[in-house]
Amino acid sequence: MKTLSFSQELIQAAQPYLKANMAHPFIQAVINDRLDSKALNYYIQQDLRYADAETVVQANLVAKSTTIEDQRMFADQLSTHLGTVNELFKSLTENTSDSWTDQRYQPIQPVTFIYRSHILSPIAQGSLLDLLTPFEAGNWLYIELGKYLADTKKVKPDNAFYSWVKAVQDPHLAGQDGISNRFLKVIDREAANASPEHLEQVKQQFVRSILLEWYFWDAAYKQLTWDNWGHHVLNSDGGDLL
Ligand SMILES: Cc1ncc(CO)c(N)n1
């Protein structure tokens, strides 16, 4: 049996959570073209705040790199991120009743806060591997969900999420030599110098990202806010919010 590379091990470990993301009612609503505009708005507003954390992660990937080649790759991708992120969300906003200025810089809600903290926390003490892996998990998941949605052949150009499906299939991100595969190669290269204990921990962080992705869809589906959380605690009716 061929032994798996570390990045293949990560992908294998994340499979059950990938399947759970595919099955989430938000994603199923995209397929059936029944996505609630409130859920879409919430997703746009919160994902913009997630994207802001991605900017910070990527600046720190440059800082933690030890070669010019890595620094350029991460800096180029940061530049691509900054150049494209608003465009995607602007085109998604055209499918809602909200205006673009209302979408940007909305308060960061609980799940967004937790997921942002998860990808940002290795900045303080972590290695390049520690910082890259939980962040790359999000790229990987989006590409897989994009493939899944495209394969259903049900997401047509008039679907409110169509531009998202297109964006995450962009060859620059998702292609064979795309940025996601290049990041996975860096992960494998760095993993070669890490202890088995360290790799176990890194794998857990990868899988947790995919778990938090599920909660990100769930939060959008329910439009979950800090006020909801507060209300739930103070007036607990025993129902489940998260
Ligand atoms: C929540 C989330 N995960 C991953 C990505 C991919 O960049 C994104 N934009 N948002």
What are the pLDDT digits (tens) for 69-111?
999 999 999 999 999 988 999 999 988 888 888 899 999 999 9
pLDDT in tens, 146-176: 999 999 999 999 999 999 999 999 999 999 9
Whether 1 maps to a domain, the answer reads no
Q: Domain tally for the chain?
A: 1
The pLDDT value recorded for residue 66 is 96
Looking at the domain assignment, is residue 128 inside a domain? Answer: yes
ipTM tops 0.90: yes
140 Cβ inside 6 Å of ligand 1 = no
CA of 3 relative to ligand 1 center, distance in Å: 30
Q: Is 146 in the pocket of ligand 1 (CB under 6 A)?
A: no
In a domain? residue 238: no
Q: Ligand 1 mean position to 143 CA, how many Å?
A: 10
237, pLDDT greater than 70 = no
Residue 237 located in a structural domain: no
Domain that holds residue 130: 6-232
Q: Are 89 and 47 in contact (CB under 8 A)?
A: yes
Instruction: Report yes or no on 50 lying in a domain.
Output: yes
Task: Give Cβ neighbours of residue 139 (< 8 Å, ≥ 6 apart).
Answer: 173, 179, 180, 183
Average pLDDT, the chain: 96
- pLDDT band for position 28 (cuts 50, 70, 90): very high
Pocket of ligand 1, candidates 114, 144, 213: which has the most ligand atoms within 8 Å of its Cβ, to mutate? 213
How high is the pLDDT of residue 97? Answer: 80
The 10s digit of each residue's pLDDT in 34-77 is 999 999 999 999 999 999 999 999 999 999 999 999 999 999 99
Residue bearing the bigger pLDDT, 238 or 185: 185
- 174 and 43 in contact (C-beta within 8 Å)? no
For ligand 1, pick from 52, 142, 144 the residue to mutate: most ligand atoms within 8 Å of CB.
142
Average pLDDT over residues 109-133: 98
What percent of the chain has a predicted confidence (pLDDT) above 70?
A: 99
Q: What is the CA radius of gyration of the chain?
A: 18
Residue 123's pLDDT is what? 98
Q: Which atom of ligand 1 is nearest to the CA of 216?
A: 1
Q: For the chain, what's the residue count?
A: 242
Q: Is the pLDDT of residue 144 over 90?
A: yes
The answer to whether residue 239 sits within a structural domain is: no
In a domain, 184, yes or no: yes
pLDDT at 238 over 70: no
Residue 240 lies in a domain: no
Query: Which pLDDT score, from 0 to 100, does residue 186 have?
Result: 98
Q: Answer yes or no: are the C-beta atoms of 9 and 201 closer than 8 Å.
A: no
Helix and strand counts by DSSP (H, E) for the chain? 13, 0
Percentage of the residues of the chain whose pLDDT score is greater than 90: 88
pLDDT for 2 beyond 80: no
Instruction: Give the lowest-confidence range in 12-16, 67-71, 91-95, 189-193.
Output: 91-95
Any idea what the CATH number is for the domain that residue 174 is in? 1.20.910.10
User: Locate tokens 């806060």: which residue?
Assistant: 113
For residue 207, pLDDT beyond 80: yes
pLDDT of residue 96: 83
